[in-house]
């Protein structure tokens, strides 16, 4: 450090030149200390000492604001005695806080030429007097962001204002002090950042322009499993899980190139092979030399968050019983499937699956059995389709399958058939062999609809169609269905209302003995007197009553009403006719024997004069329990059973041997074209012959003409029922018929 006091004896020009030289030297010396990285205290003291050599009769000092920025502390003052320093410490910046406190407060130079007379020093006069301070010039010290952090001051032991050289010296001194202090702040910041870097919970990785890892922190080591020395020098590919697509990386690099950053979720692989999700932020930064190309990646391991998120997601999107996707997830999957199919030009099949008569299983065997059956159905559905296809449960006994990559309607058909086949295999649940047949409705994208929601609605409509066609089958969507569905829904509501409003009544149709014209039986036929639609035929509402389970209540009502009526006829003296009542197969799936016993008891009608008419559909899908119940009714209660509509189903005559029936009713369709249709004529004759060999009585249904009657009589048919002899009629009209007891004989066959 070299500096010389200027010599007043020299010429003004020479003085100015010398002063300039001194200032330059001052700067050079200070910068040398800074570049040599000398400690801050040493440099600040050096600045003060250099300044003092350039201004005689003065001392230099540097005061800095403390942490809270409310007090000034003397940081460097090599020539000021300790007591003076202690007296000055803690000076509070303000408008009248001596030279330094005022300079810092006002952020401008404060030059006080005479301390003793200046109000700004009024509060510090003792100090001034004690140390003989006369003048004090102070300059605020500013750092990079223009913050004032302290003051650089020259204090004289004579009263004087600063000359231009003094001012420049103060200016330079405070500027140099600012540089040193800024360096300090940066270093402190780096130190703090370094500590933070190491102690962050997030992993940090810095890569250079060649995408080589140049720095990682402890959290990086903990999360990835790689030690710093293993990672440094490698590229981030070290962490790749292979779970991200090429598309993903293209987007990733595009974002870095365009916006200098990327933020999002990414799956990476730990050293031990585990794949885990990260929340990652990557930022491009400029290196210390100003070159771009470094990247800083900060990431958090979000495995835990993901796990709980996944659980929540699983809960919100799956059905708890079957663990299948629920409606919410189904909607999302279907939407994706449709989008994919749109792109690839393929088809999607939506299969709406509804179990047949599941309600009865629940009602008769209990919900636990029902639940187990549903779980079993869920498993079977899952294994009936490809792994990528979606099987969802909408609730109750409704399931939906979304099959992708379908070539045509035929492939959808095959899937539905496979499902029907799989479901038909009985499973043992709590000791009972159970199975659930299903009705399946199919809609296709893009043939039937393009909107996911509409596809579902159409499949649903088709499913109803499958039910209407007799269940345990599939149906494709047809546009006219939608209207039918609406009608069906209206009908269901109507039925419930009708039942509550007593809109149902019974008509009775007589059966006569073919030999002597005796009235041998009356069949109760249900009628619905609808307030708006008039008389609704049973073919329109019985299937819906069966599907909704209303048939149980309706059927019981029919039996009870018919028995009450027939008991009245008996009481009127007509004791040898049979009362026939139609029984739906659905009724047999619940325990109807107990109810029936009650009816016989309360109405007083004798069971041996009672006949249930059942159809062959009863045998479809029966595990034997319906038949057993029929047999029990016959054996325990003594009632009769007739096979109705014979010939329309699939049962062969030989099967009839196994059934607990005593009577066979030949379906109207065989009678219609008699006697001209020789085929029908042969069949009817054969049926009558076979039935008689099996010991069964035969009734011909739908006898409308004399010719039909004639043929039937000649074929030994036992009884006749049809419009020719009597339409279904109100009870009162039957009362009259019973009074007469017999048809005029001339209307019957003359052969017998």
- Please state the closest distance from residue 661 (CB atom) to ligand C2E, in A: 14
Q: Which does 584 bind (CB under 5 to 8 A by kind): Mg ion, ligand C2E, none?
A: ligand C2E
Q: Which of 293, 538, 604, 730 binds ligand C2E (CB under 6 A)?
A: 538
- Cα dihedral: 425, 618, 624, 362 (round 10): 70
Q: Which of 121, 5, 133 is CA-nearest to residue 77?
A: 133
Asked if 203 touches ligand C2E (CB under 6 A), the answer is no
Interactions with ligand C2E, residue window 266-285 (CB under 6 A): none
3-state secondary structure of 645: strand
- Spatial contact of 62 and 151, defined as CB atoms under 8 Å apart: yes
708 binds ligand C2E (CB under 6 A): no
- Kindly indicate which of the ranges 146-154, 186-194, 248-256, 533-541 contains the residues binding ligand C2E, using the contact rule CB under 6 A: 533-541
For ligand C2E, which is the closer residue by CB, 40 or 705?
Answer: 705
Judged by CB under 6 A, the stretch of 99-107, 372-380, 384-392, 536-544 that binds ligand C2E is 536-544
CB of 641 to ligand C2E, least distance (A): 13
**Segment interacting with ligand C2E (CB under 6 A) among 34-42, 55-63, 333-341, 538-546:** 538-546
Q: How far is the CB of 670 from Mg ion (least distance, A)?
A: 11
- Under the binding rule (CB under 6 A), the answer on residue 722 touching ligand C2E is yes
Applying CB under 6 A, among 51, 206, 475, 558 the residue interacting with ligand C2E is 558
Structure tokens at 296: 């800083």
Binding of residue 140 to ligand C2E (CB under 6 A) = no
Q: Residue with structure tokens 């012959």? A: 689
Q: Among 161, 260, 537, 730, which residue interacts with ligand C2E (rule: CB under 6 A)?
A: 537
- Name which position in 249, 253, 313, 723 contacts ligand C2E (CB under 6 A): 723
Pick one of 178, 441, 452, 702: the residue that binds ligand C2E (CB under 6 A).
702
Letters for 627-666 (x = contact with ligand C2E by CB under 6 A, - = none) are -----------------xx---------------------
Name the one range near ligand C2E by CB under 6 A: 221-229, 234-242, 697-705, 709-717: 697-705
Rg of the Cα atoms in the chain: 52
Number of alpha helices (DSSP H) and beta strands (DSSP E) in the chain: 25, 26
Query: Minimum distance between the CB of residue 353 and ligand C2E, rounded to whole angstroms?
Result: 26
* Shorter beta-carbon distance to ligand C2E: residue 109 or 510: 510
Q: How many CB atoms are located within 10 Å of the residue 184 CB?
A: 15
Which residue's structure tokens are 């720095």?
215
Binding window for ligand C2E (CB under 6 A); candidates: 271-279, 683-691, 695-703, 744-752: 695-703
Interface with Mg ion by CB under 5 A: which residues? 582, 613, 644-645, 701
Closest to Mg ion by CB, 386 vs 650, is 650
Kindly indicate which of the ranges 5-13, 44-52, 483-491, 537-545 contains the residues binding ligand C2E, using the contact rule CB under 6 A: 537-545
3-state secondary structure 326-353: CHHHHHHHHHHHHHHHHHHCCEEEEEEE
109 binds ligand C2E (CB under 6 A): no
The least CB distance from residue 485 to ligand C2E, in Å, is 22
Residue 730 contacts ligand C2E per CB under 6 A: no
Backbone angles phi, psi at 363, to 5 degrees: -70, -40
The residue among 171 and 704 lying less far from ligand C2E, judged by its C-beta, is 704
For residue 526, which phi and psi values (nearest 5 degrees)?
Answer: -75, 140
Name which of 98 and 702 has its Cβ closer to ligand C2E.
Answer: 702
Q: What span, in angstroms and rounded, lies between the C-alpha atoms of 385 and 570?
A: 60
59 binds, among Mg ion, ligand C2E, none (CB under 5 to 8 A by kind): none
613 binds ligand C2E (CB under 6 A): yes
Q: Tell me the closest approach of the beta carbon of residue 686 to ligand C2E, in angstroms.
A: 21
The neighbour count for residue 470, using CB atoms within 10 Å, is 12
Q: Is 414 left (phi over 0), alpha (psi -120 to 50) or beta?
A: alpha
Round to whole Å and give the CA distance between 234 and 212: 5
Q: Whose Cβ is closer to Mg ion: residue 397's or residue 613's?
A: 613
Q: What is the per-residue burial (b if ≥16 Cβ within 10 Å, else e) of 660-679?
A: bbebbbbbbebbeebbeeee
Q: How far apart are CA 54 and CA 20, in angstroms?
A: 11
Looking at residue 121, the DSSP 8-state letter turns out to be: G
- Phi and psi, residue 440, nearest 5°: -120, 125
**Nearest distance from C-beta of residue 562 to Mg ion, angstroms:** 12
> In degrees to the nearest 10, what's the CA dihedral of 617, 619, 623, 625?
90
Shortest approach of ligand C2E to residue 719 CB, angstroms? 12
* CB of 349 or CB of 551, closer to ligand C2E: 551
Let me know if 682 is exposed, middle or buried by CB neighbors in 10 A (0-12, 13-18, 19+). Answer: exposed
User: What tokens were used for 409?
Assistant: 């309607």
Tell the smallest beta-carbon distance from residue 470 to ligand C2E (Å): 14
Q: Of 29 and 613, which has the nearer Cβ to Mg ion?
A: 613
547 binds ligand C2E (CB under 6 A): no
The answer to whether 394 contacts ligand C2E (rule: CB under 6 A) is no
Q: Do 131 and 41 contact (CB within 8 A), yes or no?
A: no
> For helices 409-423 and 367-384, what crossing angle results, to 10°?
140
How many other C-beta atoms lie within 10 A of the C-beta of residue 187?
12
Work out the burial of residue 331: count CB atoms within 10 Å of its CB; fewer than 13 is exposed, 13-18 middle, 19 or more buried. middle
Residues sharing a CB contact under 8 Å with residue 75, sequence separation 6 or more, in sequence order: 41, 44, 62, 63, 64, 150
* Total chain residues near ligand C2E (CB under 6 A): 23
Least distance (Å) from ligand C2E to the CB of residue 357? 15
503 binds ligand C2E (CB under 6 A): no
Q: Enter the tokens of residue 478.
A: 């047809």
> How far apart are CB 524 and Mg ion at their closest, in Å?
9
Extract the tokens encoding 322: 């079957």
Binding to ligand C2E (CB under 6 A) within 562-591 occurs at: 582, 584
Sign of the Cα torsion 623, 627, 630, 631 reads negative
Binding partner of 397, given ligand C2E, Mg ion, none, CB within 5-8 angstroms per partner class: none
Judge contact between 412 and 389, C-beta under 8 A: no
Footprint on this chain of ligand C2E (rule: CB under 6 A): 509, 525-526, 537-539, 542, 555, 558, 582, 584, 613, 644-645, 668, 701-704, 721-723, 728
């Amino acid at each position: 450090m070299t500096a010389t006091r200027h010599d007043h004896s020299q010429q003004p020009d020479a003085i100015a030149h010398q002063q300039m030289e001194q200032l330059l030297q001052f700067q050079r010396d200070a910068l040398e200390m800074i570049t040599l990285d000398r400690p801050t205290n040493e440099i600040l003291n050096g600045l003060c000492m250099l300044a003092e050599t350039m201004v005689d009769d003065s001392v230099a000092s540097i005061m800095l604001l403390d942490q809270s920025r409310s007090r000034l502390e003397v940081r460097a003052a090599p020539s000021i005695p300790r007591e003076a320093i202690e007296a000055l410490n803690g000076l509070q910046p303000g408008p009248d806080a001596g030279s330094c406190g005022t300079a810092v407060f006002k952020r401008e130079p404060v030059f006080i030429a005479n301390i003793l007379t200046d109000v700004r020093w009024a509060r510090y006069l003792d100090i001034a007097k004690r140390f003989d301070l006369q003048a004090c010039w102070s300059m605020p010290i500013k750092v990079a962001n223009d913050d004032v952090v302290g003051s650089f001051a020259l204090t004289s032991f004579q009263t004087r204002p600063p000359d231009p050289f003094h001012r420049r010296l103060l200016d330079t001194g405070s500027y140099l002090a600012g540089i040193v202090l800024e360096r300090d702040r940066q270093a402190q910041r780096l130190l703090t950042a370094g500590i933070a870097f190491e102690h962050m919970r997030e992993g940090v990785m810095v890569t250079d322009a060649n995408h080589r890892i140049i720095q990682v922190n402890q959290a990086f080591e903990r999360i990835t499993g790689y030690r710093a020395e293993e990672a440094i020098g490698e590229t981030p590919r070290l962490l790749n899980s292979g779970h991200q697509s090429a598309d993903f990386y293209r987007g990733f690099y595009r974002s870095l190139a365009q916006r200098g950053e990327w933020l999002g979720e990414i799956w990476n692989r730990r050293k031990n092979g585990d794949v885990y999700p990260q929340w990652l932020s990557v930022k491009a930064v400029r290196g210390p030399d100003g070159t771009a190309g470094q990247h800083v990646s900060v990431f958090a391991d979000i495995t835990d968050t993901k796990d709980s998120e996944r659980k929540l997601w699983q809960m919100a999107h799956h059905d708890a019983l079957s663990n299948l996707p629920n409606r919410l997830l189904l909607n999302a999957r279907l939407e994706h499937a449709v989008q994919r199919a749109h792109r690839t030009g393929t088809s999607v099949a939506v299969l709406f699956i509804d179990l047949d008569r599941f309600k009865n299983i629940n009602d008769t065997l209990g919900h636990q059995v029902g639940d187990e059956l549903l779980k079993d159905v869920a498993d079977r559905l899952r294994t009936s389709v490809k792994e990528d296809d979606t099987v969802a449960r909408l609730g109750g006994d409704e399931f939906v399958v979304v099959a992708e990559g379908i070539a045509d309607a035929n492939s959808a058909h095959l899937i539905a058939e496979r499902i029907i086949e799989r479901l038909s295999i009985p499973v043992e649940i709590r000791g009972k062999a159970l199975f659930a047949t299903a009705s399946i409705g199919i809609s296709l994208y893009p043939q039937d609809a393009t909107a996911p929601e509409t596809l579902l609605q159409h499949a649903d409509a088709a499913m109803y169609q499958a039910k209407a066609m007799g269940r345990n089958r599939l149906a494709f969507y047809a546009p006219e269905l939608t209207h039918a569905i609406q009608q069906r829904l209206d009908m269901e509501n109507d039925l419930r209302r009708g039942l509550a409003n007593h809109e149902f009544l019974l008509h009775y149709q007589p059966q006569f003995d073919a030999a002597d014209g005796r009235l041998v039986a009356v069949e109760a036929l249900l009628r619905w007197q609808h307030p708006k639609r008039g008389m609704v035929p049973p073919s329109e509402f019985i299937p819906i009553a069966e599907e909704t389970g209303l048939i149980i209540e309706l059927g019981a009502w029919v039996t009870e009403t018919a028995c009450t009526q027939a008991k009245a006829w008996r009481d009127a003296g007509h004791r040898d006719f049979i009362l026939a009542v139609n029984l739906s197969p659905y009724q047999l799936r619940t325990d109807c024997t107990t109810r029936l016993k009650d009816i016989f008891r309360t109405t007083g009608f004798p069971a041996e004069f009672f006949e249930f008419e059942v159809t062959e559909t009863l045998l479809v899908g029966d595990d034997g329990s319906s038949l057993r119940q029929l047999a029990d009714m016959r054996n325990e209660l003594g009632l009769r059973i007739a096979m109705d509509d014979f010939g329309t189903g699939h049962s062969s005559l030989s099967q009839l041997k196994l059934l607990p029936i005593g009577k066979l009713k030949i379906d109207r369709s065989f009678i219609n074209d008699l006697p001209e249709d020789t085929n029908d004529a042969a069949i009817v004759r054969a049926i009558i012959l076979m039935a008689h060999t099996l010991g069964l009585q035969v009734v011909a249904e739908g006898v409308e003409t004399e010719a039909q009657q004639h043929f039937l009589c000649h074929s030994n048919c036992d009884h006749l029922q049809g419009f020719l002899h009597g339409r279904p009629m109100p009870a009162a009209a039957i009362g009259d018929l019973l009074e007469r007891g017999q048809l005029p004989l001339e209307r019957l066959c003359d052969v017998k």
